[in-house]
Structure 1
Amino acid sequence: MALFQCSFFSESLRISASMNVILPQACRSQIGMDSTTDAEPPAVLYLLHGITDDHSTWLRRTSIERYVTKLPLAVVMPAVNRSFYTDIGDDAYWTFISEELPQIVQSFFRVSKDWKKTFVAGLSMGGYGAFKLGLTCPDRYAAAASLSGALDVVSAAKAHTDICNFDRIFGSSEALAGSSNDLFTLINRFPSDSETKFYQCCGTEDFLYQDNLTFKTRARQAGLNLTFEEHPDAVHNWDYWDQQIQRVLEWLPLGEA
């Protein structure tokens, strides 16, 4: 595998931005890392971070590079600060992640442009971002995965969760409910003929567990193609996410692409 640590200018954010990118590399001599590449450009997974993290955290806290060694898959890990993948006034993080970043990745790297080979996943805040992308842009993502996702932002906003600064990000909870930032509203708008698949997991001892159960119920009532897994005694930490990102990689429809 090849690892690119990339700094570039974002027109959406009007600042320099950062991402780490893992790309497949044909390799026979590196001990324990034998890999091959296909003639076709690899599929791409956008892997999103949580609220206290940045573009480096998936590499630092998991073995994601090793896990994708034998897969025809590029992994893009961008930094979005504490934005909840949302446009905040002039800080256009949703525009950046949904529109600008894929164009930049495709211009910089040899990755597939086929929506059937394009996936998104994330943890906590990144789980919200992954499902927001999958629900908003089903024509661009074949699969979206949430690990311990912060999926009910309306309830969190009403609870005035200070760590998230929801008033700054979303405005009032009244304005948030029913908006394009409310995943439950996006579920109701989701096209019934979409082929996008969703994967959701959460530990039973996670503080976001009940929100995840609520999302699961609403998603299944709406007919989403959702795989849901819960894990007894698991909490909101990297031991769990390091295990579950391996499960996500197994679940991704790479063979169907």
Structure 2
Amino acid sequence: MALLEMNLFSDSLGMASSVNIILPEILKKSIKSEQDERRDFKTEYPVLYLLHGLSDDHTSWIRRSSIERYAENAGLAVIMPAVHRSFYTDMAQGQDYFTYVSQELPRKLEKIFPLTTKREETFIAGLSMGGYGAFKLALNFPEKFAAAASLSGALNIGEHVTSKTEAGELYEEFKWIFGDLEKVKNSKHDLFYLLKRLKGRQAEIPELYQCCGTEDFLYQDNLKFKKFCSKNNIKLKYEEEKADHEWWYWDKKIKSVIDWLPVKSK
């Protein structure tokens, strides 16, 4: 495996940004000569976009989990972008992180690295804010992602942002991110709305994986999402156990996610 930190200028953000990349070593097929070597390389790898939480950055998964080892065993490329505290949103007063992660970054990386462009080999996952982001991107672009996973995700944004009591210290920050908070519910930011919209269109919904610790402050929101999927006959793999909002749990569960993904090279 190769671990790279890449710095690039983003047109969507209007500034430089960083992304960490785990890349499998190129696997050679039978090589007849030096001239044939490049065309005999395996040139496309399944890819997992792995998203960080609110207080983390693009280095957190590398520093605090064994993601590199898990990805190596699966032959999986992993892309970990920095989005700061944006909630993976084109911010009302800030940068366009939703556009950056969903469109610009994949286009640029696919030109540089041997990453697949096939839906069936493209996946997304994240923890906390990143769990919300993973479902948000997958449900807005179901044609791009075959599967999405949320670990202890902040899945009920549509309701929380409108209440000062529930949003707490994030209430004013949410205004910077989402703008008019009364318009978040039943919009592209609302996971429940996105699922209902896909269901109504009879569109193909990505495979969904959800887990949360029973001691987590987001546990009740996760239960609500699970019950919503069950009520609407939406396929969802759900797991829970005694855990809080903590890294030992996310390290354990990201391995479960990778084992669950339909990665052909495993």
**TM-score, normalised via structure 2 length:** 0.88
**Match in the other structure for 2:12:** 12
Q: Is residue 161 of structure 2 the alignment partner of residue 154 of structure 1?
A: no
Verify the 8 A CA contact 1:38 1:72 in the aligned structure 2.
Answer: no
Equivalences for residues 77-116 of structure 1 within 5 A:
77-89=80-92, 90-116=94-120
1:9 alignment partner, SS class: strand
**Match in the other structure for 2:229:** 219
Q: Is residue 137 of structure 2 the alignment partner of residue 133 of structure 1?
A: yes
Q: Give the 3 Å change call, closer, same or farther, for CA 196–256 of structure 1 in structure 2.
A: farther
Identity %: 48
2:85 alignment partner, SS class: coil
Q: Give the 3 Å change call, closer, same or farther, for CA 93–26 of structure 1 in structure 2.
A: closer
Q: Is residue 254 of structure 2 the alignment partner of residue 245 of structure 1?
A: yes
Bigger drift between 154-163 and 80-89 goes to: 154-163
**Match in the other structure for 1:31:** none
Q: Is residue 206 of structure 2 the alignment partner of residue 206 of structure 1?
A: no
**Match in the other structure for 2:32:** none
The letter of the residue matching 1:18 is S
The letter of the residue matching 2:82 is A
Bigger drift between 200-209 and 87-96 goes to: 87-96
1:70 alignment partner, SS class: helix
**Match in the other structure for 1:63:** 66
Query: 1:100-136: CA deviations, max 9, x gaps?
Result: 1110110121111101100000000000000001111
Q: Which runs of 5+ in 2 are unaligned?
A: 28-39
Structure 2 CA distance for aligned equivalents of residues 193 and 224 of structure 1? 12
Q: Displacement, 1:52?
A: 0.3
Structure 1 CA distance for aligned equivalents of residues 54 and 6 of structure 2? 21
Q: Which runs of 5+ in 1 are unaligned?
A: 28-36
Structure 1 CA distance for aligned equivalents of residues 136 and 207 of structure 2? 13
The letter of the residue matching 2:69 is R
Verify the 8 A CA contact 2:139 2:194 in the aligned structure 1.
Answer: yes
For the pair shown, which has the larger CA radius of gyration, 1 or 2? 2
Q: Give the 3 Å change call, closer, same or farther, for CA 193–172 of structure 1 in structure 2.
A: closer
Structure 1 CA distance for aligned equivalents of residues 146 and 223 of structure 2? 23
Structure 2 CA distance for aligned equivalents of residues 40 and 100 of structure 1? 21
**Match in the other structure for 2:2:** 2
Q: Displacement, 1:187?
A: 1.0
The letter of the residue matching 2:13 is L
The letter of the residue matching 2:219 is Y
The letter of the residue matching 1:116 is E
Q: Displacement, 1:234?
A: 0.5
Q: Displacement, 1:223?
A: 2.7
Structure 1 CA distance for aligned equivalents of residues 135 and 254 of structure 2? 15
Structure 2 CA distance for aligned equivalents of residues 100 and 193 of structure 1? 24
**Match in the other structure for 2:127:** 123
Verify the 8 A CA contact 2:102 2:137 in the aligned structure 1.
Answer: yes
168, 174, 195: which is aligned to 1:166? 174
Query: 1:62-116: CA deviations, max 9, x gaps?
Result: 0111111222210000000000000113511111111111101101211111011
Q: Displacement, 1:173?
A: 3.2
Q: Displacement, 1:256?
A: 9.1
**TM-score, normalised via structure 1 length:** 0.91
47, 51, 59: which is aligned to 2:50? 47
